[in-house]
Homo-oligomer: A and B are copies of this chain.
Amino acid sequence: MTAKTLNSLLYEHVARIGKALSSPKRLELIELLAQGEKSVETLAAQAAIDVRLTSAHLRALREARLVETRRDGKYVHYRLSGADVAELWVALRQAAEEHLIELRVALERIASHPEALAGESRESLLAKARSGEVIVIDVRPQAEFAAGHLPYARSLPLDELERRLAELPADRSVVAYCRGPFCLMSDEAVRLLRAHGYRAHKISDGVAEWSMHGLPIER
């Protein structure tokens, strides 16, 4: 009797984490936080959620101990409580991709295939980036690049890409990446680069996926 009650208490605790992961908006906030710490305002803007609702969702994540806060003057910066939280998000997303056909279909519709860099391992891409054979560009906002990025990558935020095209040598192949498979910025970047005559591809990895596979992240 007592043992039964105590035992079900354990599951209740774990369910608190599950509950925190049960809202699409909270998942989007987690993905954004996986790119580095951000203020409530920034999160609200980037996820296109009302600031007050964003605050409420962050509260829920904080009560599940998935995020922590740091006050800096007027701003409160949120960050994930650990790398394992980003890994949990990726694991959840991968399980969804594996079992929900609807999700796979939706993904294929949105992130069109031809942009993807096919048949190249992370390791060989890393080697090519090191040698300069390909140029890896990080098209996320600069702050996210600063918080951690792929080795040898250059920061070239999507909204600056067009007017900074001159920085990219026209004879080199370009590989773009952004926040992860759900992020469309790298697709947009590839489209733009190709329209200007570049040989461009994307990889769907974000820093969380990259680092989960044992590869290094630079700061």
Show the binding face of A for B, using Cβ within 8 Å.
3-4, 6-19, 21-28, 31, 48, 64-66, 81-82, 84-85, 87-88, 91-96, 98-100, 102-103, 106-107, 109-110, 182, 184
Contacts and interface: CB of A to CB of B under 8 A. Distances in A.
A91 B93 contact: no
Top 7 closest A-B pairs, CB basis?
A: A18-B21, A11-B24, A65-B99, A13-B103, A18-B22, A19-B22, A22-B22
A15 to B, nearest CB: 4
A95 B85 contact: yes
Given A48-B4, A65-B99, A84-B98, A18 B23 contact: yes
Given A21-B21, A22-B21, A84-B95, A106 B10 contact: yes
A14 B96 contact: yes
A13 B100 contact: yes
This chain's copy number in the assembly = 2
B98 A82 contact: yes
B15 A22 contact: yes
A93 B8 CA distance: 13
Nearest to A13: B103
Contacts of A82: 98-99
A111 to B, nearest CB: 10
A185 to B, nearest CB: 10
B84 A3 contact: no
A19 B110 CA distance: 24
A95 B17 contact: yes
A84 to B, nearest CB: 6
A94 B100 contact: no
Instruction: Report which residue of A7, A15, A94 has the largest number of chain B beta carbons within 10 angstroms of its beta carbon.
Output: A15
A28 to B, nearest CB: 5
Given A15-B26, A17-B95, 10 more contacts: A10-B110, A12-B24, A13-B102, A14-B27, A14-B103, A15-B23, A15-B24, A65-B100, A82-B98, A85-B95
